[in-house]
A and B are shown apart, each in its own frame.
Chain A
């Protein structure tokens, strides 16, 4: 249990998020993978705060803020997705191709 492991964990989490983002065709699924990526960052913060940083509170504080901010971001995202759903009657990103060159 040292810093490197935590960083690797976070990085893997981030990678999984990216992977999910690429693979998923379902909007909600994509939102969740984004959540994963954000939380990977959180883990970074916490682990740095725990191991190295000389003001440890800052990192923790930051991650809490991040959670809050992410929450409202997701809220808006869901709201938008709902309006989306009203139009398209589906949550498949492949449907979102009306706007293009």
Chain B
């Protein structure tokens, strides 16, 4: 007899589940100009983030709620990543409801917007705490469907709708692939529950299993923008509103990689070594293609799309390592990636509010607003993986995990690709630091919140690297 009393360790999940309804509900009773939903959202997200930090990192299997809602260390840390992403995405989006950006009109219904973000985040929560295929699938869908809506949020923008169309069409196909994979997995193991699947996989393999693996990887490869399933990403990233792009590039990636981690180190762990070639290939090709694509971009969001494709490839490298190392590496990297990425997007956002979001409009930034240029440089160097910024340490974790099972060739290839990556990040820095502005520059206005967030993120990017508390704590979480 299971008890339905809500244990405190799923309090955040429950809160996150009911809280979007609250926000949207309040909006029904207040005027459109009212700040109440916004404040509520802030309070709620921050509260949830802090609640998560109170959950002790349990070792091993973690704690269960009605036997298929698992809260383990990976889950908790992943939740924190997702919450950080959601919080930053919300802060980033605020200005886009006040005035438009990048020649797009301002957006509306901030409450619903935040609600959608919250739902997507909750989808992520579900994925990391799933113990059977059904919950797993539902989580993935909950995480994805709001994204479709978000991509099309700006109804007056034709690019938005086109992007959303592409996104949802391909997304549904990917879902179909996944589902197909799931079905074969189910057929192979005869059960939906991870433990039994794991047992079945351990007992022996069959073509069914491998078809399932293939389809699963292809399906998730879409959400993780692996080669060749990344094709939607540049268009959608460019078409969607900037804050949505940011959320897409972090939250949905985080969810997808969490999905893979849960699979690879859960049910499929017995055949991880057999999957290694596939993973290695996916990783190598993806980061190569992503880097190549970003070489000659001129629009910032599309550029970020390719860079995030490459980042996905780098993350995949970690999946080759043993569980603890890989999980630490991925979580740490996701933190770092989220911070650096959002820093970049905040800067782009400020540019975008006054000019087009292109390399052109970055020109003369260092003369006009040095601190902004510095923030941009910091985030770019961090994404390029230059020490002592956090990005380098993140990549180092990933490569360490990959190399720990002896995939030196892949690591060498990935590291070599860093040179290409550095090249295009330098292109962007050049635009901001070296190029002379052509003609008159529209003055840049920073709101107090933007300035604070940018400073905060810059400091985080600098410190998360060589100040080892984050990495060490995460690792300690997995070790004890």
- Judging by beta carbons under 8 Å apart, are A99 and B159 in contact? yes
Complex interface: chain B residues within 8 A of A96 (CB) = 162, 165-166
Is residue A53 contacting chain B, with contact meaning CB distance below 8 A? Answer: yes
Residue of A nearest to B160 (CB): A83
Residue of B nearest to A17 (CB): B176
Complex interface: chain B residues within 8 A of A53 (CB) = 186-187, 190-191
Considering the chains assembled together, what is the distance between the CA atoms of A55 and B196 in angstroms? Answer: 11
Complex interface: chain A residues within 8 A of B141 (CB) = 69, 73
Complex interface: chain A residues within 8 A of B152 (CB) = 79-80, 83
Complex interface: chain A residues within 8 A of B192 (CB) = 55, 58-59, 62
Complex interface: chain B residues within 8 A of A21 (CB) = 173
How many A-B contacts if CB must be within 8 Å?
133
Main secondary structure, interface of B, reads helix
Complex interface: chain B residues within 8 A of A49 (CB) = 186
Is residue B378 contacting chain A, with contact meaning CB distance below 8 A? Answer: no
What 0/1 pattern do residues 55 to 80 of A give for CB contact below 8 A with B? Answer: 10011011001100100110011011
Complex interface: chain B residues within 8 A of A88 (CB) = 158
In the complex, which of the residues A62, A69, A76, A100 contacts B148, with contact meaning CB atoms closer than 8 Å?
A76
Known A-B contacts A38-B179, A66-B179, A99-B163; the reply to A83 vs B187 at CB < 8 A is: no
Complex interface: chain B residues within 8 A of A52 (CB) = 187, 190
Residue of A nearest to B240 (CB): A99
- Judging by beta carbons under 8 Å apart, are A41 and B179 in contact? yes
Residue of A nearest to B238 (CB): A99
Complex interface: chain A residues within 8 A of B149 (CB) = 76, 79
Is residue A94 contacting chain B, with contact meaning CB distance below 8 A? Answer: no
Is residue B183 contacting chain A, with contact meaning CB distance below 8 A? Answer: yes
Complex interface: chain B residues within 8 A of A87 (CB) = 158, 161-162
Complex interface: chain A residues within 8 A of B234 (CB) = 99, 101
Residue of B nearest to A56 (CB): B190
List B116-153 residues whose CB lies under 8 Å from chain A. Answer: 132-134, 137-138, 141, 145, 148-149, 152
- Judging by beta carbons under 8 Å apart, are A84 and B183 in contact? no
Considering the chains assembled together, what is the distance between the CA atoms of A54 and B199 in angstroms? Answer: 14
In the complex, which of the residues A44, A65, A84, A98 contacts B187, with contact meaning CB atoms closer than 8 Å?
A44
Is residue B155 contacting chain A, with contact meaning CB distance below 8 A? Answer: yes
Complex interface: chain B residues within 8 A of A37 (CB) = 173, 176, 180
Known A-B contacts A73-B145, A76-B145, A99-B159; the reply to A48 vs B186 at CB < 8 A is: yes
List B405-423 residues whose CB lies under 8 Å from chain A. Answer: none
Considering the chains assembled together, what is the distance between the CA atoms of A14 and B177 in angstroms? Answer: 9
Residue of B nearest to A61 (CB): B134
Is residue B182 contacting chain A, with contact meaning CB distance below 8 A? Answer: yes
**Chain A residues close to B by CB (< 8 Å):** 10, 14, 17, 21, 27, 30-31, 34, 37-38, 40-42, 44-45, 48-49, 52-55, 58-59, 61-62, 65-66, 69, 72-73, 76-77, 79-81, 83-84, 86-88, 96, 98-101
Smallest CB-CB A-B distances: 5 pairs: A44-B183, A37-B176, A41-B179, A48-B187, A99-B235
27 contacting pairs across A/B (C-beta < 8 A): A14-B180, A17-B176, A34-B172, A37-B176, A38-B175, A45-B183, A45-B186, A49-B186, A53-B190, A54-B190, A55-B191, A58-B186, A58-B191, A59-B192, A65-B134, A69-B137, A76-B168, A77-B148, A77-B169, A79-B149, A80-B148, A83-B161, A86-B161, A88-B158, A98-B158, A99-B239, A101-B234
